[in-house]
Amino acid sequence: MATPGRPLIEVLNLEKDYVTGAGVFQALRGVSLNITEGEFVAIMGASGSGKSTFMNLLGCLDRPSRGSYHLSGQDVSRLSSDQLAALRNREIGFVFQGFNLLPKLTALDNVALPLMYAGMTRDERRRQAQAMLERVGLGERSHHTPLQLSGGQQQRVAIARALATRPRIIFADEPTGNLDTETSRQVMDFFSQLNREEGITLVLVTHEADIAGYAQRRIRFQDGRVVEDVTRAEVAA
């Protein structure tokens, strides 16, 4: 679906201002970069450097103050909020640090939720959601609610939810931030596998160098600007 020859994500001079009581705060001060389909990108940087702000813009959850963003060759600023919702539903999966599962729903219903907004019937949704849960190794736990699952299991449910509509991109904002080392490793292995075997584009925010080490490309933010953008080959060199 991506326009041939064009990158999946094209960002030019992207800026984001936050208007607060204290005045206008510039969280992003002109970010330009491209991400091609199938890349695995880690975004790093100090706290407050604008990583989450940038991810939210890429994920079409928020709109930039200035600058342009093309996703699959499409100018996102021209889309209505309903079109953005449909885009998030079809093309994008989110994985958050805090999992963001609905606590009253079972794992199965959580994973089936994006499929509901995609207009699938109940039976179809359940079948597909169950298949996704099996892929993340939680086929047996589908009727547990998030509170009955460990942190690592909850994050796997969240990943299954992100994958449910078979999106092309997954945005993960510190997905291992709440997990121990061993669980983090499992989650990252799974992400690598998704990227390698299915060609899903992955953009991941992290503080930890070893987590960033799973990615092929590392982008470093500082005070709302990109200060470093290197591939693994370059790092090794």
Partner 1 sequence: MIFSSLFETAWHALATHRMRSFLTMLGMVIGVAAVILMMAIGEGAQVMVRESIKSMGSNLFIIMSGASTSGGARVPSGSAPTLTFDDANAISELKDVLAAAPVSSGSAQLIYNGINWSTSVFGTTPDYVVVRDWPMESGGFFNEADVRSGARVVVIGQVVVRELFGGEDPIGKIIRIKQAPFEVIGVLAPKGQSLDGRDQDDIVMVPISSAQQKIHSNAIRNRVRFIMAQAVSEKSMGIAESAITELLRSRHRIGMAQDDDFSVRNLTAIAETAAATTRVMSILLGTIAAISLVVGGIGIMNIMLVSVTERTREIGIRMAIGARRRDVLWQFLIEALTLSLIGCGIGLLLGVGGALLVGNLAGLPVSITPTSVLLAVGVSFLIGVFFGFYPARRAAGLDPIEALRSQ
Ligand X SMILES: Nc1ncnc2c1ncn2[C@@H]1O[C@H](COP(=O)(O)OP(=O)(O)OP(=O)(O)O)[C@@H](O)[C@H]1O
Binding site for ligand X (CB under 6 A): 18, 20, 25, 27, 45, 47-53
**Least Å from the CB of residue 52 to Mg ion:** 3
Site membership for partner 1, residue 56 (CB under 8 A):
yes
Q: Which is nearer to partner 1, 155 or 165 (CB)?
A: 165
Distance separating alpha carbons of residues 20 and 201, to the nearest angstrom = 34
Q: Which is nearer to partner 1, 133 or 212 (CB)?
A: 133
**Least Å from the CB of residue 77 to ligand X:** 19
Phi first, then psi, for residue 143 (nearest 5°) are -100, 10
Give the type of residue at 79: L
In angstroms, how far is CA 135 from the centroid of its own chain?
18
Number of Cβ within 10 Å of residue 124's Cβ equals 13
Residues 24-53 that bind Mg ion (CB under 5 A): 52
User: Three-class SS of residue 43?
Assistant: strand
Classify strands 92-96 and 74-75 as parallel, antiparallel or unpaired. Answer: unpaired
> In this structure, is the dihedral angle defined by the CA atoms of residues 128, 133, 137 and 139, taken in order, positive or negative?
negative
Burial of 144 (0-12, 13-18, 19+ CB in 10 A): middle
45 binds, among partner 1, Mg ion, ligand X, none (CB under 5 to 8 A by kind): ligand X
Site membership for partner 1, residue 166 (CB under 8 A):
no
- Which of 142, 165, 184, 201 contacts partner 1 by CB under 8 A? 165
156 binds, among ligand X, partner 1, Mg ion, none (CB under 5 to 8 A by kind): none
Residues forming the site for partner 1 (CB under 8 A): 56, 59, 61-62, 81-82, 85-86, 88-90, 94, 96, 100-102, 104-105, 113-114, 116-122, 161, 165
